[in-house]
Amino acid sequence: MSNKILVLGGTGKTGRRVVERLRGMKLPVVVGSRNTQPAFDWEDSTTWGEVLKDINKVYITFQPDLAIPSAVETIQAFVEAAKESGVQHLVLLAGRGEKEAQLCENIVINSGLDWTIVRASWFMQNFSEGFFLDSILANEMVLPKTNSKEPFINVDDIADVVVNALLDNIHSKKIYELTGPELLTFENAVSRIAGVKKQNITYQEVSIDEYVAMLRSYQLSEDFIWLVKYLFTELLDGRNESVTNDVEKVLGRKAKDFDNYVVETLETGIWNEKN
Ligand SMILES: NC(=O)c1ccc[n+]([C@@H]2O[C@H](COP(=O)([O-])OP(=O)(O)OC[C@H]3O[C@@H](n4cnc5c(N)ncnc54)[C@H](OP(=O)(O)O)[C@@H]3O)[C@@H](O)[C@H]2O)c1
C-alpha cells in the first residue's frame, strides 16, 4: 500500500511547512497547487484525479476559505474523488468559529475515512507572508474597526500539529482548536511589530464600508472582498476571544507567542524596507 501524502496548498503558509517537515523525515510527499506538475486547481475538478493517484493521506487547505458558499459542493466532490482513489485519511484545515466552514468539516467527518479537523485562529504570518505584509513594509496599517481580540497562532505550531495528525492515528476522529497563547487586538499586534522593527507604523481604523471601498480601488476580486468583509464583520464579533491549550495537548509544549514570532521574523529580513 502507498504511504504517499498529498499536501494541498503545499506552497502556502501552513502547507509549505508541513511539506518541509515530512520531507525532513524522508517521507514521500506530493505538493498540490496550481503551479505544480501535475497541477491541482480547486476550480477545475479534472485536475484532481492525476494528483490523487497512489495517495494515502491528504492535508487539505482550501482556497480561499471554507466559508465561501461554493466550498461545500467542491469539498463534497473532492472527498468523493479522494475516496474513489483509495485515500484513507484526511486532515482538514478550517478557520476557528466559522459556522459555514463546519458544513465542509461535516463532509470530511462523515466521509467514512479517518479524519482530523484542525481549526485555526488568525495566522501571525498574515503580517509577514500574507495580505498584511505590504502594509507592514509601508509602515502604514489601515483596518476595519473591530472590538474583538484575536489569539493569533504561529503557523509553525499548526504545521507541527498537522504532521502529528498525519502520522499518528491517535489523532483520528479528533477536532483541534489551535490558538496562540494570548489575546491581542490588531493594534496591539502591529505595535509589537513596530516596537521590534524600531519603526513607527501608523494604525488607522475605518468603517467596513470605507475598507471595502479601499479594497475595490485596488481592484481586488469581489470574492476576496466578500471574504474580508465576512472575516471582519462576522468572525471578529468576540466568538473567538479565548485561548485553548490544544497545541500543548498535541505537541506537549506551549504554543509559540507573538513576541517570539516578531523576533524570528525580523531576523529573516522579510520586513526590511522596500528599495
Ligand atoms: N490566513 C489565516 O489567518 C487563516 C486562519 C485560519 C484558517 N485559514 C485557512 O487556511 C487556508 C489557507 O489560507 P491562506 O490564505 O493562508 O493561504 P496559503 O496557505 O498561504 O496559500 C495558498 C496556497 O493555496 C494554493 N492555491 C491558491 N489558489 C488555489 C487554487 N485555486 N487551487 C489550488 N491551490 C490553490 C497556493 O498555490 P498556487 O498559487 O500555486 O496555486 C498556495 O499553495 C484557507 O482555507 C483559510 O481559510 C487561514
The predicted-structure confidence for 93-132, as pLDDT tens digits, reads as follows 999 999 999 999 999 999 999 999 999 999 999 999 989 9
| Separation of CA 50 from chain center | 25
Q: What is the pLDDT of residues 139-185, one digit of tens each?
A: 999 999 998 999 999 999 999 999 999 999 999 999 999 999 999 99
The DSSP symbol for 80 reads H
pLDDT of residue 70: 92
The DSSP symbol for 41 reads B
Residue with the nearest Cα to atom 17 of ligand 1? 12
What's the full length of the chain, in residues?
A: 275
pLDDT of residue 176: 98
Taking all residues of the chain, what is their mean pLDDT, rounded to a whole number? Answer: 96
> What are the grid coordinates assigned to 25, written together?
523525515
Residue with the nearest Cα to atom 47 of ligand 1? 65
Position 2 pLDDT exceeds 90: no
pLDDT of residue 147: 83
Q: What is the pLDDT of residues 55-90, one digit of tens each?
A: 999 999 999 999 998 999 999 999 999 999 999 999
| Mean pLDDT lowest among 47-61, 114-128, 213-227, 250-264 | 213-227
CB 235 within 8 A of CB 95: yes
Whole-number Å distance, alpha carbon 268 to ligand 1 midpoint, is 22
Tell me: cis bond preceding 69? Omega within 30 of 0 counts: no
Whole-number Å distance, alpha carbon 62 to ligand 1 midpoint, is 6
Residue with the nearest Cα to atom 19 of ligand 1? 12
Whole-number Å distance, alpha carbon 15 to ligand 1 midpoint, is 8
Q: Is 153 helix (H, G, I), strand (E, B) or coil?
A: strand
pLDDT of residue 232: 93
CB 166 within 8 A of CB 27: no
Residue with the nearest Cα to atom 37 of ligand 1? 33
Residue with the nearest Cα to atom 11 of ligand 1? 61
Position 273 pLDDT exceeds 80: no
Whole-number Å distance, alpha carbon 98 to ligand 1 midpoint, is 16
pTM for the structure as a whole: 0.97
> What are the grid coordinates assigned to 240, written together?
473567538
Position 275 pLDDT exceeds 60: no
Domains, in order of start, for the chain: 4-124+152-180+241-256 (3.40.50.720)
Tell me: cis bond preceding 64? Omega within 30 of 0 counts: yes
CB 179 within 8 A of CB 255: yes
Whole-number Å distance, alpha carbon 10 to ligand 1 midpoint, is 9
The DSSP symbol for 34 reads T
pLDDT of residue 274: 61
Whole-number Å distance, alpha carbon 12 to ligand 1 midpoint, is 6
Q: Is 39 helix (H, G, I), strand (E, B) or coil?
A: coil
Residues having CB within 6 Å of any atom of ligand 1: 9-15, 33-35, 40-43, 61-63, 65-66, 93, 95, 120, 122-123, 126, 130
pLDDT of residue 269: 96
Q: Which residues lie across from 176 on neighbouring strands?
A: 118
Q: How far apart are CA 232 and CA 88, in angstroms?
A: 36
